[in-house]
Amino acid sequence: MNRSRSGPRGLMVAAVVVAIVAAACGSSTTTTAPIASTPAATTAAAPSPSLVNITPAPIPAGPGPNGGTVVRWFIGLGAGTQPAQIGPEQAFATAYNASQKDVYLSLEIVDNTQAANILKTEVVAGTTPDIIGPVGVEGLNLFRDQLLDLTPIIASTGYTFSGVDPKLVDFFKLGDNNAMVGVPFAVYPSFIYYNKKLFDEAKLPYPPSKVGDQYNGKPWDLDALRTLAMKLTVDKSGNDATSASFDPANVVQWGFDSALQDNSARAEDAFFGAGSFLAADGKTAQIPEYVKAGETWFNAGVWTDHFIPNQNQAASALLGGGGEFGSGNLAMDEGHTWFTCCVAPPKPAKQFDFGFAVNPLVNGTITSPLHADTFSILKSSKVQAAAFKAVTAMVASQALLTTYGAMPADTSKQDAWFKSIDASFPGIKLDWSVPQAMLAYPDVPNHQSWLPNYAKAKTALQAFQNKYRTTSGLDINAELTKLQATLQSIFDEPQAP
């Protein structure tokens, strides 16, 4: 083991050490680790993953090819990046550009998983697009400071929201001081999806599809939902959760869960009412009453009554590895209209019959958590009038609504959308009066409303949800107190945008 040392060799070793560390720390492709990364990392849970990246064709300064003002339309924050959606989007832009000479619409389509960071980078670089969308409330929250208040431009152009419920128009007042940051385009009320086969097997009547109807002669409220869900929760011996012989360690079918994909308490509890984690002073963290009531009910549903699956059960093969309702082993799931995307069982199983029921009364009131999509204009746009003109064409486009699978905010256009969904479920009669009725009960303030330091606050809310879904015997009130303190520290951070 003789060794000798010399200056150059020592230098070389030092250089190589620094180089290895620098290269390794600076790159994800230099090594293939046994326990670390490969560069193929995209998030498994991210919505609408795609590999889209379409940048607009370079347009010389001045008017576009049709002689109109160039308006950049950024797609990627929500729907619109699936391969099947790109053709119709391009067709819309082409037709629109050909139909008039005031505006030239230029598309910029980026991968959904990267869109927020790309847009942030464009904001920093001062190369922002004019229009963003379709985008939901979550996406708007990330760019709240950048969004243009459309109120003056709406007033000056005399634009009217024909066919849209005034409550839904108000819903889009999501900016600072209730600034209207989007034009109503698509809305997704929530209600209960139920598996008719499981109800039939249990010889139980279906839940109500009309507001005010009773269930088994009793009000359709939380107690009725709990009792029904327990009857539909079955162990491997066939005992339901109301039976003394029920074995909670061997459940094979569950009664209820929330299909809201946010994975946070504020979303799953939203049918308990509305409220904000931010007090009226705009600084103080609070736990809204609907969350206190909701989490107590959900926690008991998971760990005491066992009709709601815990985290492991929800991720198990019995519940489709997270696709709970589609697994056919969940009787009721509260979800939005967009959830029709995800009710199919894995092939080769055939689609089971399912129906829609209204949300139950909670303290005498119905609440239907609402998701919505819109198009927004950025403050930095130098062509705001032209951008608004393009936005009005977008929200009026039946073709775009169909492409995005979006339930129109304009009631006069909803029938066509219902038919397009019905076509996906031949032989199943869906009662579209349920989502239409639920539109009258939106949660205002919305469960996705902006919070200071939004992304970090959302992470804390999701961590809370994960904890109670994985930990039996938690003191929910104590945990909510901790959550409030955590949120307050997040709100207080100096760099919160």
**Contacts with other proteins, residue ranges (CB under 8 A):** 1-6, 8-9, 12-13, 15-28, 31-38, 40-45, 117, 120-121, 123-124, 142-143, 145, 263, 311-313, 315-318, 321, 453, 455-456, 459, 462-463, 466-467, 470-471, 494-495, 497
Q: What are the phi and psi torsion angles at 357 (to 5°)?
A: -130, 155
> Which residues are bridge partners to 103 per DSSP?
69
* CA atoms of 46 and 267, how far apart (whole Å): 17
Pick from 401, 460, 380: nearest CA to 127: 380
Nearer to other proteins, 43 or 177 (CB): 43
* Strand 103-110 with 183-188, pairing: unpaired
* CA atoms of 482 and 477, how far apart (whole Å): 9
Nearer to other proteins, 292 or 467 (CB): 467
E strand segments, 326-385 = 330-336, 354-357, 371-377
Nearer to other proteins, 29 or 160 (CB): 29
Q: What is the DSSP letter of 96?
A: H
Amino acid, single-letter form, for residue 146: Q
Nearer to other proteins, 117 or 178 (CB): 117
Cα end-to-end span (Å), the chain: 59
Residue pair 310/302 in contact by the 8 Å Cβ criterion = yes
Nearer to other proteins, 43 or 160 (CB): 43
Nearer to other proteins, 31 or 94 (CB): 31
Shortest Cβ distance from residue 303 to other proteins (Å)?
A: 14
**For residue 193, what is the enclosing H or E element?**
strand 190-195
* CA atoms of 66 and 68, how far apart (whole Å): 6
Residue pair 109/79 in contact by the 8 Å Cβ criterion = no
Tokens of 324: 């709970």
* Strand 190-195 with 354-357, pairing: antiparallel
Nearer to other proteins, 327 or 397 (CB): 327
Residue pair 48/81 in contact by the 8 Å Cβ criterion = yes
Residue pair 113/42 in contact by the 8 Å Cβ criterion = yes
Shortest Cβ distance from residue 363 to other proteins (Å)?
A: 31
Tokens of 296: 């107590």
Angle at 470 between CA 359 and CA 335, to 5 degrees: 20
Shortest Cβ distance from residue 322 to other proteins (Å)?
A: 9
Shortest Cβ distance from residue 41 to other proteins (Å)?
A: 4
Shortest Cβ distance from residue 113 to other proteins (Å)?
A: 11
Shortest Cβ distance from residue 320 to other proteins (Å)?
A: 11
Nearer to other proteins, 69 or 313 (CB): 313
> Which residues are bridge partners to 194 per DSSP?
332, 355
Shortest Cβ distance from residue 253 to other proteins (Å)?
A: 13
Nearer to other proteins, 9 or 101 (CB): 9
Shortest Cβ distance from residue 125 to other proteins (Å)?
A: 9
Residue pair 323/346 in contact by the 8 Å Cβ criterion = yes
Shortest Cβ distance from residue 43 to other proteins (Å)?
A: 6
Shortest Cβ distance from residue 378 to other proteins (Å)?
A: 13
Nearer to other proteins, 254 or 388 (CB): 254
Place of tokens 């790309």: 118
Amino acid, single-letter form, for residue 215: Y
